[in-house]
Amino acid sequence: MLVPGSTAQALAAALADETGRSLADVAYERFPDGETLAAAPGFDADRAVVVASTTTNDAYLELLQLQDAVREAGAEEVVTVLGYMGYARQERAFEPGQPVSARAVARAVSTGTDRVVLVNPHEASVRDFFDVPCEVVDAAARLADPLPADLSDPLFLSPDAGAIDIAIAVRDAYGRGDTDYFEKVRHSGTDVDVTPSDADVGDRDVVVVDDIVATGSTVSESIGVVNDRGAAGVHVACVHPLFARDARTKLERAGVDGVYATDTIERDVTATSVAPVVADVV
């Protein structure tokens, strides 16, 4: 039985369609003091697949509660799907005295589950932080699906070398086009510089591909650069559409022609589902 966290309801629904598994009845409450209470009333199965996207601290708490609730209700096996794993970008202590937050949350999640499935975590190495078996799945190819079929001489461009594999996966699934990447320097949480690649973008459709759009700084900087260099059109494809603060506006102001994302986080730009990829391993 699939047990959705409140921030992963679209993904859980897509997984239910894909696998034919039933969806548990769930309730998400908040007490006057701010504490959350997520429950699965009437859960009655031997196996639970808890589906979560931990975009907020509350979502982590809710996940721990749902894991505990299904155990309490008699589940013998609990599988946890993290469509989006929050804190995965804090995979090391960047300054003395900082925590390895990804490890801290992974340990907590491990206490309530027998197995974890992660969809395109920012660093695949975070899988080693879990104390239970953890499988990483790559759903980037799903992003080719919603792209316009008639892109002109497309170039799939990642904003940094770290995301080039995602750009290649999308290009391969799309079936044609070149790939390249920018060099990125991040000065702060919202201040990013990208150095253009040598690739010719003139009169071509460019698809900027990244794993996450968070503040939108990285991708909007990239859109600006390719527009300045005469691209015919600029589209953005990302696995995890966090879209914090004014990210959507930033992309629009930079001159984006289309934005496409998966349902690891449900946003208005969600245009495809990772469910077929996750279904293979749950």
List residues near ligand R5P by CB under 6 A: 159-160, 162-163, 192, 210-218
Q: State the Cα torsion 207-208-211-214 to the nearest 10°.
A: -130
Q: Are 41 and 25 in contact (CB under 8 A)?
A: yes
Q: Residue 15 or residue 126: which is nearer to ligand R5P going by CB? A: 126
Q: Kindly report the number of other CB atoms within 10 A of residue 150's CB atom.
A: 7
Taking the complex as a whole, the smallest distance from the CB of residue 209 to ligand R5P amounts, in Å, to 10
- The token duo for 66 is 């749902």
DSSP bridge pairs for 206: 155, 234
Taking the complex as a whole, the smallest distance from the CB of residue 184 to ligand R5P amounts, in Å, to 7
Q: Residue 6 or residue 220: which is nearer to ligand R5P going by CB? A: 220
- Output phi, psi for 142, to 5 deg: -65, -20
Taking the complex as a whole, the smallest distance from the CB of residue 212 to ligand R5P amounts, in Å, to 4
Q: What Å distances lie between residue 80 and 4, 137, 175, CA to CA?
A: 10, 13, 33
Catalytic residue among 103, 184, 235, 248: 184
Taking the complex as a whole, the smallest distance from the CB of residue 70 to ligand R5P amounts, in Å, to 32
Q: Residue 41 or residue 189: which is nearer to ligand R5P going by CB? A: 189
Q: Are 151 and 207 in contact (CB under 8 A)?
A: yes
User: Is 250 one of the annotated active-site residues of the chain?
Assistant: no
Question: Which DSSP letter does residue 198 get?
Answer: S
Q: Residue 110 or residue 220: which is nearer to ligand R5P going by CB? A: 220
Q: Kindly report the number of other CB atoms within 10 A of residue 109's CB atom.
A: 25
Q: How far is CA 40 from the centre of its chain?
A: 25
Q: Residue 13 or residue 234: which is nearer to ligand R5P going by CB? A: 234
Q: Are 260 and 239 in contact (CB under 8 A)?
A: no
Taking the complex as a whole, the smallest distance from the CB of residue 190 to ligand R5P amounts, in Å, to 7
Active site residue ranges: 184
